[in-house]
Amino acid sequence: MESEKTQFQVIEGGPLKVSGPFKISGPDGAIISREGPVYLCRCGHSTDKPFCDGSHKRNVFSE
Amino acid sequence: MADPRNRQYTNGDITVFWIPSKCIHATTCFRELIEVFNPGRRPWVNMDGAPSRRIMEVVNKCPTHALVWKDNKDLTKEELKAQRNVLPTEENPGNLSSPNESTSIRIMRDGPIVVEGAFTIIGTNNEKLRPTTLSSFCRCGSSRNMPYCDGTHRKIDFRDQNPVNGE
């Protein structure tokens, strides 16, 4: 169903917003999240990786 | 007769063959070498992305031999002929995954976010980006092909673990 699709929204200079049905697994394979929306760090500086902690505001990166 | 979906890619030195019917999406190729094996691009194999030696190393790790390589000196006549026939509508590994399972989002250690399934991507200008069933998003902040991964995380030595004493 179209409405059931997972959606990734690229937020300029910020995180990747994920909503809809999904499961996120970490580097060791364990499921770390199934419910959204979640915000995934894109700037590389979050101290709560893979999630965004607002660090992009102090660390500008280019799109 | 060979499967018409089979592809071959060369850098003039070696040729990489891709046999999609054998691919089980182990994702070894693009986790190791996204500069060369990038399911988000077409063609999905870019033979200029790394030296032959590195490409051979990663191809050798393909668990199903869906990817194999040959020295160009060893190509058969038929293979040489096929080298010149590049088809415009090419499959990529993403087109082969099942649309029924819920979207899988994998955080790769010190690497990108690899996404597989049925999903849409909205870009920074609120536009829908090209539909695909397999993508990898940059997590290091330094890709030159945002929002996608281009392998730069390896060059900048991106780490999941932040230094204990801050930066």
In chain B, the domains with their CATH numbers are 7-93 (3.30.70), 97-167 (3.40.5.90)
Interface contact A22-B117, CB threshold 8 A = yes
Contact B122, B128 (CB under 8 A): yes
- Identify the pLDDT of residue B85: 56
* Domain hosting residue A40, numbered range: 2-57
In a domain, A47, yes or no: yes
Q: Which of B20-34, B53-67, B84-98, B121-135 has the lowest mean pLDDT?
A: B84-98
pLDDT of residue B88: 43
Are the beta carbons of A22 and B102 separated by less than 8 Å? Answer: yes
Kindly state whether residue A25 falls inside one of the protein's structural domains. Answer: yes
- Count of the separate structural domains present in chain A: 1
Q: What is the pLDDT of residues B96-145, one digit of tens each?
A: 444 456 789 999 989 999 998 889 999 999 999 987 778 889 999 999 88
pLDDT digits (tens, 9 = 90+) for A16-43: 999 999 999 998 889 998 888 999 999 9
Q: How many CB pairs under 8 A join A and B?
A: 100
ipTM for the predicted complex comes to 0.92
> Is residue B58 a contact partner of residue B37, using CB atoms and an 8 Å limit?
yes
Instruction: Collect all residues with Cβ–Cβ distance below 8 Å to B70 and sequence separation of at least 6.
Output: B14, B15, B17, B79
Asked whether residue B93 carries a pLDDT value surpassing 70, the answer given is: no
pLDDT at B155: 86
A contact residues 21-60, partner B, Cβ 8 Å cutoff:
21-27, 32, 40-45, 47, 49-50, 56, 59
Q: How many CB atoms lie within 10 A of CB A58?
A: 8
A9 in any annotated domain: yes
- For residue A63, tell me if it sits in a domain: no
